[in-house]
A and B are shown apart, each in its own frame.
Chain A
């Protein structure tokens, strides 16, 4: 992953990274230093709230520990962000039982592609996967999942376009029980978090799943695009309010976007980040490693 991320980040070195490296190589820890540090974080989509908070904490820490060396401060800086991003993401799937993962998010973040990548991962570790095509809204969403299903050898449970997504999930659970599957991956239609009715629809899907499976085995995963700006905080908040998110997957980290929005999200919500998407192929999904994420930022 490091190499892939490095590759991606190389392209923007003159921008964000160049500034950062240059910054830490400087020797004076004056107000300009802090200000430009804040600017850099903001340019990575960390946002004003989280940036101000991190910056203030570091100012305090630098003073307390009497750190004057920028290199040393850089390490401290990394440590702070790593700490913020380190949230236990084990045990999201319970071995030996039928698990259901509900993938949600706004339109176009890469839910279906992520589901395909997740399936690839589970299949490789010997699990039997079933897809539930619960995006019954978008044209050809079912076909898209079916295409992945046939490429990966995964059964797809589907209804007609326009059908009730909760009913699809209900059927998928029955099918998974009969076929002795280990994991159901549920693809839902992209929806804006501000659409009350569509959020209710998701709640219903989750209710149905929880009725059929024991509660702990139903997990909700928010898929988020790394290019997302400050709206990402509202997305995470509202999806979390409606569904109690268990994990976040950050997609499209192979571009020039830094995905700094997750720092802002974690500052507030503390939802574990599970994987990051770094390409379009099934194996372009990596475990989220805060250390690697932060190293790649500061590289």
Chain B
């Protein structure tokens, strides 16, 4: 597997001590790495090509800013271009001038239309709208049941007609009923279909003609590969859809398909789905997607959050204790609580960049449950033990394990990790560089 892009670029530039203007050869070498990173992220091959050409034009001869390294300078350009390519501004959901606003969700099988329909209904509800759902997937077994069940959970009415096999008819009556119920937003869930299935694509066209939806939203799986472009172009040619919903972004797919589709069709990404939970539909932010595609993690958001949550004085005093080699398990505990206060653990995890050469980041395999256990272990120790873990003999370890409802091997592991972290911190402070440490959000990120 590939190293993370930033590591690779750092390596290239570590040889170049000179600053100044970037020459073509340097740019060329860097762009090769960026090209590979984009391809690894499933950005369409042709899109990558034209993108790289554009970046190259901008990068050659550019003066490297004093505050940045050459690698950072190029990443900055790439990042800006990526954001630009993805529309610059955050996604937006719009409403028809005259109520009700009709949204129609379309896409391939399994892209997540039905779930997205329910999530969109929930999203609209939180905006104070009164949504209504229409189950127009008459093909997949139990698709109607699925939407009805989700509607029930959300207390949103769902229209269905199990006897009809005419999609148009169902949608027409559904809209009538939605209006009668006083809904201001109506979401149509359609059956998944292949973009090359002419008959099925005609069906969508007919529905479009019959009810003229305000927005047709193409639902796309974030894990889609190079074919995303073919899919999007077919749907655009037939339906001229208005925007995208990108689903399943909670995994580790980089989501390059989003970029390709935007680049090729010019349609913007409106919303993204970040988990299986019903409230996980969010506005799309181009900056976050850009970092994700480049494999740099959503560090910006994380830093923002960290800055907002971490108490500056506390951080300063912690730094001092680190430098004096005085930090204890109490500090360890405090650090964990800070991480927790930055948001749900999964969210924080998702924002971290991956470790070089793997699909994992420093926290992979660590879940909220384990954090809880670590907390329990530390809290079962006396103040003396927390200050000086060396006093933890076999009996004490057993006592702590029992007291915290864990096992001695878990206690052992924690103590070992702590002493390793301490060693690492010692190396850091030996470097004497405050900046280096403070750049890390938490010195204990590697436990």
Q: Which residues of A contact B (CB under 8 A)?
A: 8, 11-12, 15, 39, 42-45, 47-49, 106-110, 137-141, 143-144, 146-148, 151, 192-197, 225, 227-235, 237-238, 252, 254-258, 260-261, 280
Closest residue of A by beta carbon distance from B221: A108
Assembly CA distance A282 to B194 (angstroms): 17
Assembly CA distance A280 to B252 (angstroms): 28
Q: How far is the CB of B206 from chain A (nearest CB, A)?
A: 20
Given contacts A39-B45, A197-B367, contact A232 B223 (CB under 8 A): yes
Given contacts A227-B108, A255-B108, A255-B196, contact A43 B226 (CB under 8 A): yes
Assembly CA distance A23 to B27 (angstroms): 30
Q: Which of B248-269 contact A (CB under 8 A)?
A: 248, 250-254, 256-257
* 28 pairs of residues in contact across A and B, judged by CB atoms under 8 Å: A43-B226, A45-B226, A49-B2, A106-B248, A107-B112, A107-B248, A110-B110, A139-B153, A140-B143, A140-B145, A144-B143, A192-B252, A193-B251, A194-B251, A195-B250, A196-B365, A197-B367, A227-B108, A231-B252, A231-B254, A238-B359, A254-B194, A255-B195, A255-B196, A255-B231, A257-B227, A260-B225, A261-B225
Report A-chain residues with C-beta under 8 Å of the C-beta of B148: 140
- Total chain B interface residues with beta-carbon distance under 8 A: 51
Report A-chain residues with C-beta under 8 Å of the C-beta of B1: 49, 233
With contacts A110-B110, A280-B139 known, what are 18 further pairs, Cβ within 8 A? A49-B1, A106-B223, A146-B142, A197-B367, A227-B225, A227-B227, A227-B231, A229-B225, A230-B41, A230-B225, A231-B253, A233-B1, A237-B359, A252-B108, A255-B194, A255-B195, A261-B225, A280-B109
Closest residue of B by beta carbon distance from A229: B225
Taking a contact as CB atoms under 8 Å apart, the answer to whether A252 and B251 are in contact is: no
Assembly CA distance A298 to B108 (angstroms): 25
Q: How far is the CB of A163 from chain B (nearest CB, A)?
A: 15
Taking a contact as CB atoms under 8 Å apart, the answer to whether B145 and A229 are in contact is: no
Cβ-based interface call for B141 (8 A): yes
Given contacts A43-B45, A47-B40, A234-B359, contact A144 B146 (CB under 8 A): yes
Given contacts A43-B45, A144-B140, A147-B141, contact A228 B224 (CB under 8 A): yes
Closest residue of B by beta carbon distance from A148: B141
Cβ-based interface call for B230 (8 A): yes
Q: Which residues of B contact A (CB under 8 A)?
A: 1-2, 36, 39-42, 44-45, 108-112, 139-143, 145-150, 153, 194-196, 221, 223-228, 230-231, 248, 250-254, 256-257, 276, 359, 365, 367, 369
Report B-chain residues with C-beta under 8 Å of the C-beta of A11: 196
Closest residue of B by beta carbon distance from A231: B253
Chain B interface, DSSP helix/strand/loop, else mixed: loop
Report A-chain residues with C-beta under 8 Å of the C-beta of B45: 39, 42-43
Assembly CA distance A197 to B276 (angstroms): 13
Taking a contact as CB atoms under 8 Å apart, the answer to whether B146 and A140 are in contact is: yes
Closest residue of A by beta carbon distance from B150: A139
Q: How far is the CB of B393 from chain A (nearest CB, A)?
A: 33
Taking a contact as CB atoms under 8 Å apart, the answer to whether B227 and A231 are in contact is: no
Report A-chain residues with C-beta under 8 Å of the C-beta of B108: 227, 252, 255
Q: Which listed residue, A42, A110, A141, A192, touches B251 by the CB 8 Å rule?
A: A192
Report A-chain residues with C-beta under 8 Å of the C-beta of B2: 48-49
